[in-house]
Amino acid sequence: MAREPRSRGAARPPKRPSATRLWFKRWRNWLRGVGLASVAIGATVVLVVGVVALDPAARLRDASGWLASLGRGPGLLVQEIRVEGREFAPREALLAAIATSPGDAMLDFDPAAAKDRLERIAWVEHAHVERRLPGTILIRLTERRAFAIWQREGRFSVIDREGRIMATERLQAFGPLPLVVGAGAERDAATMIDLLRSAPEIADRVQAIVRVSERRWNLRLQSGADILLPEGHEVAAITRLAELHARDKLLDRPLAAVDMRLPDRLVVRLQPAAPAASPATPNRSQRG
């Protein structure tokens, strides 16, 4: 039987596309998109470079302003400044060194610069500074320890072990610290204080450690007596003084001074004896 001719307008039966053709089509579209994006990015970079080349300073300022504006966005403002480890460091000095306050931009705060300023404060030995997003600045302080009271020309100061002045007011808050007196005493006090701590029977009787001519030391006892120590031989002198006291109770005597400056002799001066009371002379009216 002869087949009837198919009319031109008749629809062809649908055919399922092959998986290979679909895979190639997807990759072609993807690569085309990547290419267009690369061209767009490249054009943008060229445009930016060209604009910056025309006016680099202005464009860099605009970029800096844009970055700063990010730090002022929601959640990037300073909300809390937390300071840990503070005991004696002045509050005003800390605030000036931190140099920021709640409401300022977090990205405007420089932890390294704040650390440097904090460690210039006399009380601060070490500072740890960090930003904790979204809005906390954390500061941990290690303070220097008060070591002694330094007296010079009638003025008193709290000093640390290295002789740095820590405070000049409210000295009673620092307890019974050793007293060192005289010019230069603050620089060399640690050696003498450590030496006396090794001889508590002497340290308990010392009222002040006095620097003489920035060369040697005297010990002023609670009784008012002075122990004159030799220059550069303080260890041997303190050891000898402790032996004499253990054997003869030397420091319990009514001393005016003990001169130990000469290596081969010890000169002891006692307090002058009180004059004996003269017998009362009767008044004429009492005579018989």
Residues 201-225 pLDDT 10s: 999 999 999 999 999 999 999 999 9
Residues 150-191 pLDDT 10s: 999 989 999 999 999 998 888 888 878 999 999 999 999 999
Provide CATH code, domain 148-270: 3.40.50.11690
Domain layout of the chain by residue ranges = 50-144, 148-270
- pLDDT above 70: residue 287: no
- pLDDT above 70: residue 4: no
pLDDT reported for residue 143: 94
HEC per residue, the chain: CCCCCCCCCCCCCCCCCCHHHHHHHHHHHHHHHHHHHHHHHHHHHHHHHHHHHHCHHHHHHHHHHHHHHHHCCCCCECCEEEEECCCCCCHHHHHHHHCCCCCCEHHHCCHHHHHHHHCCCCCEEEEEEEEECCCEEEEEEEECCCCEEEEECCEEEEECCCCCEEECCCHHHHCCCCEEECCCHHHHHHHHHHHHHCCHHHHCCEEEEEEECCCEEEEEECCCCEEECCCCCHHHHHHHHHHHHHHHCHHHCCEEEEECCCCCCCEEEECCCCCCCCCCCCCHHHCC
Q: What is the reported pTM?
A: 0.63
Q: Which option is the CATH number for 50-144: 3.10.20.310, 3.40.50.970, 3.90.180.10, 3.40.50.2300?
A: 3.10.20.310
